Structure 1
Amino acid sequence: MGEPAQLQADRLGRLGRFRGSQDRNLWFWAFVGPFTVGLLVFVYVPIGWSLYLSFFDARNTVTPSDFVGLGNYRDMLTDPAFVDSLGTFTAFAAFIVPSTFAISLGLALLVHNARWLQGFFRSVFFLPTACSYVVASLVWKLSIFNGVRFGLANTVLGWFGQDPVAWLSVTHPPWYWVVLVTLRLWLQSGFYMILFIAGLKRIPRDIYEAAAVDGAKPGWQTFRWITLPSLRATSTAVLVLLLVNAYQSFDEFFNLLSSSGQYPPYARPPLVYLYYLALGNGQDFGHGSAGAVVLTLIIAVVTVAQGRLLGLGRRDS
């Protein structure tokens, strides 16, 4: 017997709601589905498994059986090397966050106010963003800041009668910070410049015209009282992104300072230390996962606190 007409109508109605008008729901999942599966398999499952491993003594295995509870977290929070890596991040962030913010904002103002070739200058400054951190690190290490006298930086110093500097091999003075900071500035300033340019384009020109009528002088006075307050939301977002990216620094430290598979005992950010802890000779996945969870929580807390302090998401911003 055929199914009743009412049941058939209900089934077709549910099917129609599932498919959506003109099969829009099916097309949505056809495009989003592969990305969702990849995100689940390659992001959320590893995160969940890392959280699971952080509660076990997982040495040379990803299927441990020795449950240690919060022991790995206690060990990491009392580990001098891990705590020192957080201090390295703090030093790096103290250099890179304000300098990138200032340079990106300055470039955005220059490009936005340029009368000719705006598109060209935007492309020139944004182009380094597409460069691989690994490739850029090798260029900085082998060509620009090479420790021998043939490196570009030492060649320039030689023009002024200065001796060559071993940029990446000495800790007193810590010249390696010059290499690390300049590399990161070159790679990311163009990206944040684009964000600031987008914010500048949202500022109505009427505000500047009204300020000029009221006697405001162009330049610093206009920038201080009109441009900078109008960029509050963009500035807050840029600062949050810069701080999070500083926490996640890895490629430049690993590729600039490591040699022959070894890493010097200085300038280890958290991710580099956790990399050697979890994937080094000991392969201590338990402590490495616990350190990763601690670092994630620190990033989340600092990001939320910074966003609240700077007013990210407020309606008046």
Structure 2
Amino acid sequence: MGAPTTTRRRPGALLDRPAWAFWILAGPFVIGLAVFGYIPILWSVYLSFFEARNTVTPTEFVGLRNYADMLTSPAFLDSLLTFTLFALFIVPTTFVCSLGLALLVNQARWAQPLLRSVYFLPAACSYVVAALIWKLSIFNGVRFGLANTVLGWFGLDNVAWLAVTDPPWYWLVLVTLRLWLQVGFYMLIFLAGLQRIPVTLYEAAFVDGARRGWTTLRHITLPQLRATSAAVLLLNLIAAYQAFDEFYNVLGNDGAYPPYARPPLVYLYYTALGSGQDFGHGSAGAVILALLIAIVTLTQGRLLGFGRNHT
């Protein structure tokens, strides 16, 4: 009778199990997401139903009163309206600029990786640093600023870009800053979509007599980019409503912020972390803003057919 055989577990066999491999690799990220993401969100929703001033510990249950106060607050509603108009402008402008840039880079015969890196570089820049450069170096309102220097070449007077509201030149500063920061990122998304379009589609179109340019762009490129275009529009819309860093650092001064061009997040920042530290109303406003973004995003995604198979 032979000796019983023993099964030797090879090193790393424990990691072959899908469940263990998943939790070892994804566990730290799941814990971090729960601690720094989901728990604060749930606590914010909880605080929105309570009176909580100067403390994150709720003191008095007020039901939907905080929501009613925010929905009837002229300042909060004005911030939503202002940045709805801002989103209506910045979203299509970014879409057109990033798509056009992607088409140009995709047609490059040489140095395409270099061009991708150069155009994407601003997306890696800090919003705070870029805002300070725009505010202090380019549009600082004195004759030594870059924008006023260019105007001086044509014999034009200096413009106080951030100090006047009529005309509202500060919007030019904010819009150009946002475009510089995000066009390169969406360009890469469009470029990836362009490179997935089969070349045979263009070759067949040329055989049938189609001309390069608008004809192929309209009948081949844009239809093939429908899913990519929907993703770009959705991401861009969400980013427009979440604007904070560049607006706060461009227009903020010594802890104060002007009432004009105030995005919802800046308004909620001063509501929750200002002198009153009203976390109840601040949390209610954050929930309203999140629901508004979700509703607009889902509506836009449904209209654009995001997630459907367009092949």
**TM-score, normalised on structure 1?**
0.92
- Distance in 2, matches of 1:153 and 1:95, equals 22
Residue 208 of structure 1 corresponds to 202
Residue 51 of structure 1 corresponds to 45
Residue 139 of structure 2 corresponds to 145
Q: Give the CA deviation at 1:95.
A: 2.1
- Distance in 2, matches of 1:25 and 1:70, equals 43
Instruction: Provide structure 1 residue ranges, at least 5 long, that are not aligned to the other structure.
Output: 1-18
Written as runs of structure 1 = structure 2, the 5 A alignment for 1:1-317 is 22-316=16-310
Cα deviations across residues 214-255 of structure 1 (Å, max 9, x unaligned)? 111101111111111110000011000000000100011100
- Distance in 2, matches of 1:88 and 1:255, equals 18
The answer (yes or no) to whether the contact 1:236–1:312 under 8 Å persists in 2 is yes
Number of positions where the alignment pairs a residue of Structure 1 with one of Structure 2: 299
Q: Give the CA deviation at 1:65.
A: 2.2
Q: Give the CA deviation at 1:314.
A: 1.2
- Distance in 2, matches of 1:120 and 1:295, equals 39
The answer (yes or no) to whether the contact 2:227–2:310 under 8 Å persists in 1 is no
Q: Give the CA deviation at 1:27.
A: 3.1
- Distance in 2, matches of 1:64 and 1:293, equals 17
Q: 1:267 to 1:21 in 2, by over 3 A?
A: closer
Cα deviations across residues 272-300 of structure 1 (Å, max 9, x unaligned)? 00000000000000000000000000000
Q: Give the CA deviation at 1:23.
A: 4.0
Please, which moves more after superposition, 90-99 or 256-265? Answer: 90-99
The answer (yes or no) to whether the contact 2:148–2:158 under 8 Å persists in 1 is yes
Show structure 1 runs of 4+ deviating over 2 A. 19-28
Cα deviations across residues 34-87 of structure 1 (Å, max 9, x unaligned)? 111111111111001100100001111111221000000000000000000001
- Distance in 2, matches of 1:67 and 1:176, equals 41
Instruction: Provide structure 2 residue ranges, at least 5 long, that are not aligned to the other structure.
Output: 1-12
- Distance in 1, matches of 2:248 and 2:144, equals 23
Question: RMSD over aligned Cα, in angstroms?
Answer: 1.1
* Letter paired with 1:32: A
Q: Give the CA deviation at 1:33.
A: 1.0
**TM-score, normalised on structure 2?**
0.94
Cα deviations across residues 173-221 of structure 1 (Å, max 9, x unaligned)? 0001111010011111011000001100111111111111111110111
- Distance in 2, matches of 1:268 and 1:298, equals 17
The answer (yes or no) to whether the contact 1:126–1:191 under 8 Å persists in 2 is yes
* Letter paired with 2:301: G
Q: Give the CA deviation at 1:91.
A: 2.2
The answer (yes or no) to whether the contact 2:48–2:66 under 8 Å persists in 1 is yes
- Distance in 1, matches of 2:119 and 2:80, equals 31
Q: Give the CA deviation at 1:26.
A: 2.4
The answer (yes or no) to whether the contact 1:95–1:181 under 8 Å persists in 2 is no
Structure 1 counterpart SS, 2:51 = coil
- Distance in 2, matches of 1:143 and 1:29, equals 49
Identical aligned residues as a percent: 71
